[in-house]
Amino acid sequence: MSDIVDLNLAELKKAIIDKDLSAKEATEAYLQAMERGAHLNCFISTTADKAIQMAKASDQRIESGNALPLDGIPIGVKDLFCTSGVLTTAGSKMLSNFVPEYESTVTEQLWRDGAVMLGKCNMDEFAMGSANTTSHFGSVENPWTARAEFERQLVPGGSSGGSAAAVSAGLALAATGSDTGGSIRQPASFCGIVGLKPSYGRCSRWGMVAFASSLDQAGPLTRTVQDAAILLTSMAGHDPKDSTSANVSVPNFELALTGDVKGMRVGVPKEYKLEGTPSEIEGLWEKGIEILKAAGASIVDVTLPHTKYALPTYYIIAPAEASSNLARYDGIRYGMRTEQEDLQDMYQKTRRDGFGEEVKRRILIGTYVLSAGYYDAYYLKAQRVRALIKQDFDEAFENVDVLLTPTAPSEAFAIDENDNDPIKMYLNDVFTVPASLAGLPAISIPGGLSNSGLPLGLQIIGKMFDEESVIKAGGVLEMATGSDMQAAGKE
């Protein structure tokens, strides 16, 4: 089988269980693809030996009739999930030598279910970025650069850029990502794949390198909605080691894919029509509305009046939490140290040398908004606006089951294009940040191609802990748009 890497997760799972091919063969096919695609820089570390070893263990279980749900499924892991004995850098020089002695809960659960680790995916440093250009290990190239024949290298989006590009290019069957303000959904949109951010608390944050703890959430990046549902079922679940992990039951998310949205109420928030958004984005949105309408859903106009304040709110709350979380990088317990005679000098120079520009900028902003005299004006103000943003969603969801919006305000742009203008970079997350602030589940589905032949995503946002409606509506969208995208996605 020369096209093993063309199978999606559900197909490969069946092929392995039916013994059409072994887990080891599947893993080897991906390891070869990773070598061919090395120029995309999707991986910070490759764990080939470990992958083969895990695949062999899968084959043994299958042989003895004890197959696990993800046996032989080769995946990439965003490099902020701590993996025992495997370098975990979070894309930062600060952690460029950090080898955890423990495993994150999310990855632990994936291995428990038989998945195979191919390597650790590149990402924006500490997940701060929307283009994967802030990584200490270099930028990631979007595989659509070649498909759409662009002269300049395109970004994969961020911060889960390595994960998204790897899945899109067929270097991993699926990958884990994390989403704080859009870091799963926006790269999924840019790379033409599916990205699912679950409800806050659905997946344990234990063992994930923290960025903004009230927002961070793990989720899958996959080729299909079904694949995302399968992976989420393994990743989710209550974990006593994360005090914010939700003690709610985990359904078999795959069963939500009924293909039936008859009678589903789909809200269309008027505030997401932004001035200056390219008309092709509006056109894509219209197409999504028509698809769901044709499938029997009812379309409802809704209003989320505080939408425009979501980004500035986020850029107080996320840096504030980051400045606190990243205080742990002090050159003493782990990570790099710049040796100095004096302790204070050691702290200041270690953090000067270990953090990149964007991370420093956010720590400084966060430190400022939390400092005496400014706390009320910035941080408490932002938390109050956050309450209003959540209230907007609560009110909208009294009348609708899900919301439909575009995922990102543009197609993938060239590497370095927005690097000199932080605010312009931040605007990439204008459609994804509101759901993050409200803790809601949301998915990005490939919706179609832009005029220049690049993928554009559609976003479905659901009620708290109602990933099932998100998956159901996403599946219906995918059925209508998926075949075009799959054809276009072949190099």
Subset of residues 365 to 384 that bind other proteins, contact rule: CB under 8 A:
365, 367-368, 371, 374, 377-378, 380-384
Residue 348 near other proteins by CB under 8 A: yes
Interatomic CA distance for residues 490 and 173, integer angstroms: 15
- Decide if residue 394 touches other proteins (CB under 8 A): no
- Return the number of the residue (1 or 375) whose C-beta is nearest other proteins: 375
Whether cis (ω within 30° of 0) applies to the bond prior to 371 is no
The distance of closest approach from Cβ of residue 434 to other proteins in the complex, given in angstroms and rounded to an integer, is: 12
Tokens of 66: 């004890």
- Contact predicate 146/55, CB 8 Å: no
Q: At 377, phi and psi to the nearest 5?
A: -65, -35
Q: Site for other proteins (CB under 8 A): which residue of 151, 344, 398, 487?
A: 344
Q: Does 461 participate in binding other proteins (rule CB under 8 A)?
A: no
Site map for other proteins, 90-119, x if CB under 8 A?
Answer: -------xxxxxx-----------------
Residue placing its CB nearer to other proteins in the complex, 190 or 211 = 211
Q: Is residue 129 within the footprint of other proteins (CB under 8 A)?
A: no
Tell the residue number behind the tokens 């040398």, with chain if given. 353
For position 246 contacting other proteins by CB under 8 A, the verdict is yes
Kindly list the catalytic residues.
78, 159, 183
Residue of 22, 41, 109, 313 interacting with other proteins (CB under 8 A): 313
Residue 272, token pair as written in the block:
């997401």
Nearer to other proteins by Cβ, of 175 and 464: the residue is 464
The candidate with the shortest Cα–Cα distance to 179, out of 230, 249, 140, 130, is 130
Residues of this chain, 140-179, that bind other proteins according to CB under 8 A:
none
Residue 39 three-state SS: helix
Verify binding: residue 363, other proteins, rule CB under 8 A.
yes
Treating both helix axes as pointing N-terminal to C-terminal, what angle do 225-235 and 9-17 enclose, rounded to 10 degrees? 70
Nearest approach in angstroms of CB 296 to other proteins is: 31
Q: How many residues bind other proteins (CB under 8 A)?
A: 72
End-to-end Cα separation, the chain, in angstroms: 18
The answer to whether 92 and 136 are in contact (CB under 8 A) is yes
Q: Is 146 exposed, middle or buried (0-12, 13-18, 19+ CB in 10 A)?
A: middle
- Among residues 207, 202, 199, 218, the alpha carbon closest in space to that of 241 is found at 207
Shortest distance in whole angstroms from residue 187 CB to other proteins: 23
Q: Does 303 bind other proteins (CB under 8 A)?
A: no
